Amino acid sequence: MKIKSFIIIAFAGLLSLVSCKKDETKVILDKVNPSLITTPITTDYTLLKVNEDSTLFTLTWDASTYELSNGAPQTHTITYTIEIDTTGNNFKNAKSITSITDLSYATSVKSWNTYLLNILKANADVKATYDFRIRTSLTDGTTREDVFSNTITLSFTPYSMIIILPPIYLLGDATTAGWSNTAAIPATYKEGGEYVIVEHLLNTGGFKFIANLGAWAPMWGTNATGTNTSGPLSYRPTEDVTDPLVIPHPDVEGDYRIIADTANLTYTVSPVTSVLYLLGDATTAGWTNTAPLVMTKVSPGKFSITTTLTAGGMKFLEVPGQWAPQWGTDATGTSTGGVLVYRATESVPDPTNIPSPGAGTYTITVNLATQTYTIVAK
């Protein structure tokens, strides 16, 4: 009897182990079926100025679908990002044209010609070929890996045009403009679709960008993955499209440098100093970093000082008595103006001294938005 009991118990234990083993390996799989681009059918376009207001092409695709192996319901948001790159580059340097929840994107001849010449650096009257694909981003409380559609290849021959890039404008309850779209603050065009601005931000609310004063579209905000330091820009081309989310306010009120990349649809937000000092052997302060000359804050990120200079060099400090953070220049900097080079910590090599124009009285201006300086004789 004891032997039989032992065998029964051992067999029951074995069944228990097998049962546990099955439970541990039971997995619920998620599946995303990527989109398929369905139009355009035409693959070769010659752009003409006479047709600049006409629609050049409309990109359409079918919806990505999301499935669970056990059929359980899920709430999720699908965002479609149109990506473009030079044909054959396998999207190694892909640019994002737009991120939307719709299943189509149309562009005019003029808009696409501007994009080709300015963002993609295409040459006028020369055919250029590009690959397109749709990236599907899906969130349902957790971020899942993106999937990609099929690739289509389109060729374009742009026409020559003078490109004048308008500013974009910052607004929101985290800014001094509030949500007044007629009082939004212009951001400066930098290069390659990037716009930059230094603005005082509050630690409440958020902000967005608009393309035209007095209008709510085109507009750029972010999505659920955007943070108060960086993230994706979500583009709203028309007022028929749902508003993107606001870019979150910083944790600490202060002056911030905001870069909005409208080509790659990204943004960054980083703090900038609210005080700046001048020193150097070309100045009356010399290289004594405990007594540098105080510059006047003209506006967030802009500083100025009128002072006498002699031969020599100079730099800008953010904290008296410390050699970092520090601003100098590079080999291209001159005695009348140039780019600013930032030294965040003393572990980083010193930037080049800014050269003095010689003996005299000068107004020195610093713009931390564009990271440039000017020196003008008085």
Architecture of domain 277-377: Sandwich (2.60)
pLDDT band, residue 138 (cuts 50/70/90): confident
The pLDDT score that the predictor gives to residue 7 is 41
Architecture of domain 168-271: Sandwich (2.60)
Please indicate whether residue 40 or residue 11 has the higher confidence score (pLDDT): 40
Please indicate whether residue 196 or residue 31 has the higher confidence score (pLDDT): 196
Enter the DSSP assignment of 79.
Answer: E
Question: Measured between alpha carbons, how far is 298 from 295 in angstroms, rounded to an integer?
Answer: 9
**How much helix, strand and coil, in percent to the nearest 5, is found in the chain?**
10, 45, 45
Question: Measured between alpha carbons, how far is 262 from 214 in angstroms, rounded to an integer?
Answer: 20
Spans of all domains in the chain = 30-157, 168-271, 277-377
Task: Average the pLDDT over each of 29-43, 125-139, 175-189, 245-259 and give the range with the smallest value.
Answer: 29-43
CATH number for domain 30-157, candidates 2.60.40.10, 2.40.100.10, 2.60.40.1080, 3.30.470.10: 2.60.40.10
Query: What is the model's pTM?
Result: 0.67
pLDDT digits (tens, 9 = 90+) for 54-68: 999 999 999 988 766
Burial 39-50 (b: 16+ CB within 10 A, else e): eeeeeebebeee
The kind and range of the H/E element at 251 are none
Highest mean pLDDT among 136-140, 239-243, 289-293: 289-293
Which amino acid, 98? T
Contact (CB, 8 A) for 130 and 86: yes
pLDDT exceeds cutoff 70 at 177 = yes
Query: Do the domains spanning 30-157 and 277-377 agree at the CATH topology level?
Result: yes
The pLDDT score that the predictor gives to residue 180 is 97
pLDDT digits (tens, 9 = 90+) for 121-137: 899 999 999 999 999 88
Question: Measured between alpha carbons, how far is 371 from 254 in angstroms, rounded to an integer?
Answer: 18
Contact (CB, 8 A) for 81 and 99: yes
Enter the DSSP assignment of 194.
Answer: E
pLDDT digits (tens, 9 = 90+) for 274-308: 999 999 999 999 999 999 999 999 999 999 999 99
Mean pLDDT of the chain: 87
The kind and range of the H/E element at 46 are strand 44-46
Percent of the chain, pLDDT > 90? 67
Task: Average the pLDDT over each of 90-99, 294-303, 350-359 and give the range with the smallest value.
Answer: 90-99
